[in-house]
Structure 1
Amino acid sequence: MFSTTTAKARTAGSAAKILAGSGIVRPINPIGLARTGLALARWGTGPAGGFIGLARRYPRRTAVIDELGSLTYADLDRRSNAIARALAARGVGEGDGVAIMCRNHRGFVDATLAVAKLGADALYLNTAFAGPQLVGVLERDKPALIIHDEEFTGLLSAASSAQRLVAWVDSEDPADTTGARSSGELARPLAPSEGVTERSEETLESLVSGDARPVPPPKRHGRIVILTSGTTGAPKSAPRPEAGFDAAVALMSRMPMKDGWRCFVAAPLFHTWGLAHLLFAELLGTTMILRRRFDPEDALATLAETQADSFVVIPVMMQRILSLPEETLAAYDLEAIASRLKAVASSGSALPGDLALEWMDRFGDSLYNVYGSTEVSYASIADPVDLREAPTSAGKVPWGTQMRILDGDGAPVRDGEAGRIFVGNGLLFEGYTTGGGKEVLDGLMATGDVGRFGPDGRLYVEGRDDDMIVSGGENVFPQEVEDCLMRHSLVADAACVGVDDADFGKRLRGFVVLVPGADAEAAGDVDVTLKDWVKENLARFKVPREIVVIDALPRNATGKVLRRELATWDDEAAGPNGERVAGQ
């Protein structure tokens, strides 16, 4: 009954109903509608067509609010026209790759739109990449141009690329609260594309005053290329198809998203989840609130000051907000923030422990958690009812999505049994740029995770199929043990990995970060205390053989734990109680 499930039928009627509920489909000036339709017909449903259409439909609506101020949709159109013409004059054209390494600010949006208008491919780089990872990606994908924030200049110095543009200039003046100097201070002409040896420091901002006439539509629509997280190996480049209406309808079938909302996008824009909300703005005319860096207290201040309707996060951001001292939380009117927030949209990793309940107890029942991957996009969505009744579930599949749980031979498992998760929708990626891709069976793509459907019809993800360890003949998924550890009052964060064991083949090693204020005596006894806790709540074979206290779990910019660093953890590098930051 539950090994195969399909969301609402993909009918025009159900899609229209969802779009109407969001405020997208409604009576509109026929001239504006015609102009929007013409833009989509000429430019496609990607960033170029979507934002050109919005500039014609809502020219004066605020599109972006960042540390430098606000921009309207008409502003974005003019700015990206000027940047696109400047890039074209320097040799960037259809099919070229342009790497973008920017934090969340207007420069990311400017670059995305300009590249799309030229029919070039946007390759989004992870802002947390180490130098070798970054150089490896650039040497493999060979972009014609790199657009980056000034802070990444040093990391990029070893990469061979002909041209550079600075999207954000860091401030050297401590009194400068905007975080940026005048772009003219660094602006100078780009070097020619042939035989360049000198790096350019010209800024995007210095180009926006140029020729802003509309750019002719390219014959080829540019692609969006997103990098996988690289938590288990080198990051892969995964091109995405144009999202179109299906992506929005799928998300809005399980999550409220309305026309004209003010959306604080805290999740990194280079990541699938943050980028999704930039692209959804094409349909919703969203006012996107952006901050270059996430700080938990600043996030509360931003939510209060901007009166945001929605908040786009990764789970670790919610953890950091809830971990603020009570006196800090008390300084903000959390009830007022909660009353305005209609949707807190989370994705990127599983919600650990009782995080969902703890968040909703503070900020109301407006939390939605999306399970998916770079390759398959949205697979299932847990709404507030799901998260109240089953906090560890991944919810149910959205509109236009099919999911099956299959065994190792590709056959459906029995009801309630765990197996590999396969997903089918109109958003599956095209395959990695280096060749290959995820396994596909009957049009459904493997997510790389193991899960099951519960008797309540909800999906439960047990973990990555390559995270499972076999210890003494028993299968153990770290995520279940991590959730258990997170529910102990001493634990602020937890992760488990498999390590070699002479007797059992593999054994589970746990790593925990203690809550602020946990005393030294508690830290000293934590191994025994937490083992007993796991033993009381889970099967004995799931109890970690050892539990180590560390200062912080190693995570990437999207909040995923870097398990490869934990797997190579060095006992001799630890302090007297085992404490240290893993990976250092």
Structure 2
Amino acid sequence: MTRSEPVAPIGTQLAALARLAPDEPAVTCDGLTLTRGELDRSTNRLARAYAERGVGVGDYVTMVLPNSVEWIQAAVACWKLGAVPQPLSARLPDAELQGLLELRPPALLVGREHPGIPSVPAGFVPDPALSDAALPEAVSPVWKAMGSGGSTGRPKLIESGGDSRVPAAIGYPLGAQEGDTTLMSVPMSHNTGFTSATIALLMRHHLVVMSRFDPHEFLRLITEHRVTFLTTVPTIMQRVLPVYHADPGAYDLS
């Protein structure tokens, strides 16, 4: 029996895809597209900016950002440092945010300011003098940590069951294939969105992200980008179907 090859951490896998296909589109949102090469270089620089602010292996980085290219860059930068991305809703009330921060104080807060915690604002751009060269390989001990509003009491943190050596094959049981185009219509601060976005990055998809859901835009993006893979929820489909049936000729869903 042959032993399977060890799985590289997410950051290393994404860097390898960037070397393989640097000019392929990696992520698109609101008209902005980064190629795999651009995503790799920009997140190397961003990771160094986070490291300058004290982020290292095993540290939490709390991301309070809406769906965006910036969200993807922040998560990838965390993985490249061996840190743990903890995404929270950009609309999270301050009181809930405070409760989650108290559970596990992060090394860095992205997208929101807080006294006593190093932070960078939404739209943060690292110093262009920082290198965008490859970083040493690092493994995040937990590849994601999701926040819960605490429906049964105080807020909770839910850590993934494994480290960042996540195989791209986790997408196969969901029907994903290498090279798909994925439409992200749900918040990536939720587990479904985060996991689906990660699968898309690992499986060499073009990840098309909606910053906010709109049924007309949902159908337009499927048509424009020839979307082949989608993870969504019943509420979204209930809003999309009447729009499609009102003018089916306007959209190509073939």
Quick check: TM above 0.5? yes
Aligned length: 251
Q: Contact between 1:146 and 1:161, CA under 8 Å: does it hold in 2?
A: no
- Structure 1 residues 118 and 65, CA, compared in 2 at 3 Å: closer, same or farther? same
Residue 286 (structure 1) shift: 0.3
- Structure 1 residues 278 and 217, CA, compared in 2 at 3 Å: closer, same or farther? same
**SS of structure 2 residue aligned to 1:55:** helix
Larger radius of gyration: 1
Deviation track 1:351-391 (CA, whole Å, cap 9, x = no partner) reads: xxxxxxxxxxxxxxxxxxxxxxxxxxxxxxxxxxxxxxxxx
Amino acid at match of 2:189: F
More strand by share: 1
- Structure 1 residues 320 and 228, CA, compared in 2 at 3 Å: closer, same or farther? same
Residue 116 (structure 1) shift: 1.2
- 1:233 lines up with 2:153 in the alignment: yes
Q: TM-score, normalised by structure 1?
A: 0.40
Residue 65 (structure 1) shift: 1.1
Residue 331 (structure 1) shift: 6.5
Task: Give the fraction of aligned pairs with identical amino acids, expressed as a percent.
Answer: 26
Q: Contact between 1:118 and 1:222, CA under 8 Å: does it hold in 2?
A: no
Residue 206 (structure 1) shift: 4.2
Amino acid at match of 1:164: S
2:166 is aligned, of 244, 248, 251, to: 244
Residue 129 (structure 1) shift: 2.3
Q: Contact between 1:80 and 1:208, CA under 8 Å: does it hold in 2?
A: no
Q: Distance in 2 between matches of 1:313 and 1:132?
A: 29
Amino acid at match of 1:160: P
Amino acid at match of 1:257: A
- 1:132 lines up with 2:87 in the alignment: no
Amino acid at match of 1:165: V
2:240 is aligned, of 316, 321, 324, to: 321
**SS of structure 1 residue aligned to 2:158:** strand
- 1:333 lines up with 2:253 in the alignment: no
Q: Distance in 2 between matches of 1:141 and 1:277?
A: 25
**SS of structure 2 residue aligned to 1:113:** helix
Q: Distance in 1 between matches of 2:50 and 2:187?
A: 25
Residue 95 (structure 1) shift: 2.3
**SS of structure 1 residue aligned to 2:98:** helix
Deviation track 1:513-559 (CA, whole Å, cap 9, x = no partner) reads: xxxxxxxxxxxxxxxxxxxxxxxxxxxxxxxxxxxxxxxxxxxxxxx
Q: Distance in 2 between matches of 1:88 and 1:301?
A: 39
**SS of structure 2 residue aligned to 1:244:** coil
2:120 is aligned, of 142, 165, 185, to: 165
- 1:326-365 alignment, distance < 5 Å: 329-330=246-247, 333-334=250-251, 336-337=252-253, 339=254
- Structure 1 residues 235 and 79, CA, compared in 2 at 3 Å: closer, same or farther? same
More helix by share: 2
Task: Return 5+ residue gaps in structure 1 as ranges.
Answer: 1-10, 17-36, 169-202, 340-584
**SS of structure 2 residue aligned to 1:217:** coil
Amino acid at match of 1:163: P
Q: Distance in 1 between matches of 2:45 and 2:81?
A: 11
Residue 112 (structure 1) shift: 0.8
- Structure 1 residues 98 and 283, CA, compared in 2 at 3 Å: closer, same or farther? closer
Q: Distance in 2 between matches of 1:129 and 1:332?
A: 39
**SS of structure 2 residue aligned to 1:110:** helix
Residue 221 (structure 1) shift: 4.5
Amino acid at match of 2:154: A
Residue 143 (structure 1) shift: 1.0
Q: Aligned residue for 2:11?
A: 48
Q: Aligned residue for 1:306?
A: 225
- Structure 1 residues 93 and 322, CA, compared in 2 at 3 Å: closer, same or farther? same
The two structures, once aligned, show a CA RMSD in angstroms of 2.8
**SS of structure 1 residue aligned to 2:66:** coil
- 1:532-551 alignment, distance < 5 Å: none
Q: Aligned residue for 1:214?
A: 134
Task: Return 5+ residue gaps in structure 2 as ranges.
Answer: none
Q: Aligned residue for 1:199?
A: none
Q: Contact between 1:97 and 1:142, CA under 8 Å: does it hold in 2?
A: yes
Amino acid at match of 2:156: K
Q: Distance in 2 between matches of 1:209 and 1:303?
A: 38
**SS of structure 2 residue aligned to 1:167:** coil
**SS of structure 2 residue aligned to 1:136:** helix
Q: Distance in 2 between matches of 1:209 and 1:311?
A: 38
Residue 222 (structure 1) shift: 5.5
Amino acid at match of 2:22: P
- Structure 1 residues 292 and 219, CA, compared in 2 at 3 Å: closer, same or farther? closer
Deviation track 1:454-508 (CA, whole Å, cap 9, x = no partner) reads: xxxxxxxxxxxxxxxxxxxxxxxxxxxxxxxxxxxxxxxxxxxxxxxxxxxxxxx
**SS of structure 2 residue aligned to 1:318:** helix
Q: TM-score, normalised by structure 2?
A: 0.86
Residue 248 (structure 1) shift: 3.3
Q: Contact between 1:264 and 1:310, CA under 8 Å: does it hold in 2?
A: yes
Q: Aligned residue for 1:260?
A: 179
Q: Aligned residue for 1:171?
A: none
Q: Distance in 2 between matches of 1:137 and 1:219?
A: 24
- Structure 1 residues 300 and 209, CA, compared in 2 at 3 Å: closer, same or farther? farther
Q: Contact between 2:61 and 2:86, CA under 8 Å: does it hold in 1?
A: yes
Amino acid at match of 2:166: G
- 1:105 lines up with 2:68 in the alignment: yes
1:123 is aligned, of 83, 86, 93, to: 86
Q: Contact between 2:25 and 2:36, CA under 8 Å: does it hold in 1?
A: yes
Q: Distance in 2 between matches of 1:63 and 1:248?
A: 18
Q: Distance in 1 between matches of 2:231 and 2:176?
A: 12
Q: Contact between 1:55 and 1:77, CA under 8 Å: does it hold in 2?
A: yes
Q: Distance in 2 between matches of 1:67 and 1:280?
A: 21
Residue 76 (structure 1) shift: 1.0
- 1:425-504 alignment, distance < 5 Å: none
- Structure 1 residues 86 and 256, CA, compared in 2 at 3 Å: closer, same or farther? same
**SS of structure 1 residue aligned to 2:196:** helix
**SS of structure 2 residue aligned to 1:122:** strand
Amino acid at match of 1:167: A
Residue 75 (structure 1) shift: 0.9
Q: Distance in 2 between matches of 1:226 and 1:248?
A: 22
Residue 57 (structure 1) shift: 2.3
